[in-house]
Amino acid sequence: MPRPLKKTTANKVLEAILPGARAANAKAQAADAVPAGKLEVGAKIRKARKERGLTLQQVAASSGLAVSTVSKAERGQIALSYEKVLQLGRALDIDMTRLFMSGDAPAEVPVAHPTVVKDRFEDVQRYETDQYEYSVLCGAFPDKKMQPLVAIINAREARDFSETIRHPGQEFVMVLSGRVRILFENGETIELGKHEAAYFDSGVGHVYVSLSKQPAQVVSVCS
């Protein structure tokens, strides 16, 4: 049996992207953000549903998810995939990234449309599934047409997934460290090393797996 892999913190991912990040992270290391728990995200989903006066059945019908999936997500019993979070976001008419923002971020879109939104990486809320650890960036910008994120790929094989992930639009990815294989439901695969990039149709089911000794690190932008 392979030895369990030591997880790489998202701050170490940042150090790989930005010069000088190591010094900044040293100050914040003691208060390093804890990945968003399933209970926290679930509570935000439940709050958004209640604020809109919707039942579990209504949200399930409009999202295309099973009632049991929505219920378990609200109770923090399961970690949702990126695809399912998008589906819930559309059903609740909120930007899915607001579910991952630190604290009790408002679900409503601000009246004034900003020109630019700045994020500080150590303030970005992270979200863990069994396969990935997401750091969702710039969640405060309203009506985004793209979703930037940094992800740590913990999955090692396709069988680590119960299903492929698909969402409407396109996806860009660049490997920050390690080596990644992307497997598509149509049988195609592609391997990427450090600083290699790919652009693909995210409507085709896909999964990322790490081929390196340590979990691979990528930056991705989804439309």
Domains of the chain, each with CATH number or no CATH: 10-222 (2.60.120.10)
Model confidence at 32, in pLDDT bands (50, 70, 90)? very low
Weakest-pLDDT range from 16-25, 110-119, 147-156 = 16-25
Please give the average per-residue pLDDT across 161-183, as a whole number.
Answer: 92
Beta bridge pairs of residue 119: none
User: Which of 9-13, 111-115, 138-142: highest mean pLDDT?
Assistant: 138-142
pLDDT beyond 60 at 111 = no
Q: What is the pLDDT of residue 36?
A: 55
> What stretches of the chain adopt beta strand conformation (E)?
126-128, 132-136, 147-153, 170-177, 180-184, 189-192, 197-201, 206-210, 216-222
* pLDDT, mean over the chain: 78
pLDDT beyond 50 at 80 = yes
Q: Within its chain, how far is the Cα of 177 from the centroid?
A: 18
Q: Is the CB of residue 217 less than 8 Å from the CB of residue 177? A: yes
Please give the average per-residue pLDDT across 13-20, as a whole number.
Answer: 44
As a whole number of angstroms, the distance between CA 75 and CA 90 comes to: 20
Weakest-pLDDT range from 49-63, 119-133, 164-178, 183-197 = 119-133
Report CA-CA distances (Å) from 111 to 90, 108, 114.
19, 9, 9
Q: How many residues appear in the chain?
A: 223
Q: What is the pLDDT of residue 2?
A: 47
Residue with the bigger pLDDT between 192 and 30: it is 192
Q: What is the pLDDT of residue 25?
A: 43
Cα-based angle 4, 7, 10 (whole degrees, multiple of 5): 170
Q: Is the CB of residue 195 less than 8 Å from the CB of residue 174? A: yes
Q: Is the CB of residue 107 less than 8 Å from the CB of residue 114? A: no
Q: Which of 85, 201, 215 is nearest to 150 (CA)?
A: 215
DSSP 8-class letter at 165: B
